[in-house]
Amino acid sequence: MDIALAKKRIKELRETIEYHNYKYYVEDDPEITDFEYDKLLKELEDLEKQFPELITPDSPTQRVGGKALEGFDTVVHSVPMQSLSDVFDEKELYEFDNRVKSVLKFQEVEYVVELKIDGLSVSLEYEDGIFVRGSTRGDGIIGEDVTQNLKTIKSIPLKLKESVPYLEVRGEVFISRDNFIKLNEKREILEQPLFANPRNAAAGSLRQLDPKMTAERKLDIYVFNIQQVQGKRFDTHVASLEYLKSQGFKVSPTYNVFKDIKDVYTEILRLGDDRGKLPFEIDGAVVKVNLLAQRDILGNTSKSPRWAVAFKFPAERKETIIQNIYVQVGRTGALTPNAILEPVKLAGTTVSRATLHNIDYIRQKDIRIGDHVIVQKAGDIIPEVVEVVKDKRKGDEQEFHMPTQCPVCGAEVVREEGEAVTRCTGIECSAQLLRNIIHFASRDAMNIEGLGPAIIEQLLNKGLIKGAADLYYLKFEDLIHLERMGEKSAKNLLNAIEKSKDNDLSCVLYAFGIRLIGQRAAKLLAEHFGSIDNLAHANFEQITAIHEIGDKMAQSVVNFFKQEQSKDTIEKLKSAGVNLKSKKQEKGKDSRFEGLTFVLTGTLVNYNRNEAKEIIEKFGGKVSGSVSKKTSYVLAGEEAGSKLDKANQLGIKVIDEVEFEQMIK
């Protein structure tokens, strides 16, 4: 294809893709499937790769930057991004109305009432209709340049339908309730800290230095104000919103106009009653003067405009009764007690369950079955018990005790010293299978390439696997029907599964996810006992005899191999032909690095950090994260940093990759 044809096709593709972006992300009315959309985007990506000189900043392919940032540049807001004054009740709202009318000499005033979305305020700037910069509010005067991250939000138009010389708008970035729950579920699986509420999730996501991470969070935005514009003039706020909507922006979903402040208050109450039904979180309603000329007269204080207020909704609380307490097993094996409540209407929805977090939370608040309690929604999403109404106790309330066995699979449950969480230890527990199999297939464990969380989830949902060992019994016809799994991908995955059968016993032990047993401990156990059978029959004393294996680690291993689920998994792995012996013991141990400690720094050409670490440990050496007088060698790659400087200061031997390869030949 010559460049003229490519230019024409690229223009067609961009217009088509942005049209479907608008239908899907703004109007919520998609016309094509995700698969068809992906095909269009892939064709555009391929053409731009072939003709890079045709790439423009407003291309849909530029919504996810290719390179992570080192930090954010600052942006000075030429129009300050002020915060709103808050009012909390009907009286304060009427006082606002009186102040407005007294300044305007009691002119007739129209008020626009909008939802106050609980997210992160940003500015979007356009030059000649092209999105050129996006920034956070910061302190109202100076914010951060988050342009690349904002480009990942597909409800933000990269190109306006009308090429105005300059436009700056203000909007609220947020994450929907559903996406917030999915994000926390994913973080739970990866054992990452959970976000407390959608606002925190949105703020944290927008400030990622890698735009690809922001893109994964599926943020959204509602635009609610024009900060400044050239080439256009508006008389009312509503007219400006209608214009923004015509240019492809997603504007506040509800904005109604009222002349009487009593009607404004009625509308605020309606929005408060309905907030639990919304797909996103709000923390109030915004009341604005509609006529822009009146806004100019009213002006601003140093902190906030005099022509608008935010009516803040209090966290709604209700009294109810705890009818029972049951335990839910999460995807990481965490046991969470939950209260079954006498149903109560709260923040627009009927609540019949509430999280009790953990046993410490229950003890601190002295929560018992049969108690009258006060409940609220944390972040308007997750119902929780705030306090017990103790003066309503009758004496027949029952204390709750955590179970000693998993309510899902019957395996032993444990609570580590210093941890609030109680966990199930069952390797085949259905409640935590997804997380267990993700770990089993991960790079540092069985290293099954191409087996990501999405595929594992499909395999579980379709009943094709019920545990990690079942991966080795999958067939081509099982995989070919999975979503986005072609013939080549299916064959590659089967090959990767087959290849993993030859892994060392240490990989299998680490893949089991035995509590307290990391990669180093798994290697020590594999080398010492030589086979899975020897380790399975070892007692506590025999395991603690290994240097570096402590009492808690040894007891964890003994407990693991006592479980019927563990025995079942091992038998399935044996039948599938998975290697369950230590290759190092079979071949004889080369201890050339015995007693030596290495520190790795910089980027190596032929090895990643894990590969170099494995080689050193294979020869009996140790790898440390810091340089000290006990360090034997510092292996330095490109862009080595402070560790190299410290090694030189201490006179530690520094080797490069060439010398390292000579040492391991």
**Helix (H) or strand (E) run with residue 633 in it:** strand 633-636
* Dist CA 235 CA 442 (whole Å): 59
3-state secondary structure of 550: coil
- Going through 290-402 in order, the beta strands assigned E by DSSP cover 308-312, 317-329, 334-346, 349-355, 372-378, 382-388
3-state secondary structure of 328: strand
* Dist CA 370 CA 392 (whole Å): 10
Q: Note the helical H segments in 577-608.
A: 583-587
Catalytic residues: 116
Residue 6, C-beta contacts closer than 8 angstroms, at least 6 positions apart:
47, 50, 51, 54
3-state secondary structure of 300: strand
* Dist CA 534 CA 538 (whole Å): 6
With 0-12 / 13-18 / 19 or more C-beta atoms within 10 angstroms meaning exposed / middle / buried, residue 509 is buried
How many C-beta atoms surround the C-beta of residue 515 within 10 A?
17
Task: Kindly tell me the sign of the dihedral angle through the C-alpha atoms of 442, 447, 452, 456.
Answer: negative
For 168-178, give one letter per residue: b (16+ CB within 10 A) or e: bbbbbbbbbbe
Q: From residue 11, give the alpha-carbon distance in Å to each of 47, 56, 473.
A: 11, 11, 48
Q: What is the DSSP string of 193-223?
A: PPPSSHHHHHHHHHT-SSHHHHHHT--EEEE
Residue 1, C-beta contacts closer than 8 angstroms, at least 6 positions apart:
9, 47, 50
Phi/psi of residue 367, nearest 5 degrees = -85, 130
Query: Structure tokens of 557?
Result: 């291993």
Residue 20, C-beta contacts closer than 8 angstroms, at least 6 positions apart:
30, 31, 32, 37, 40
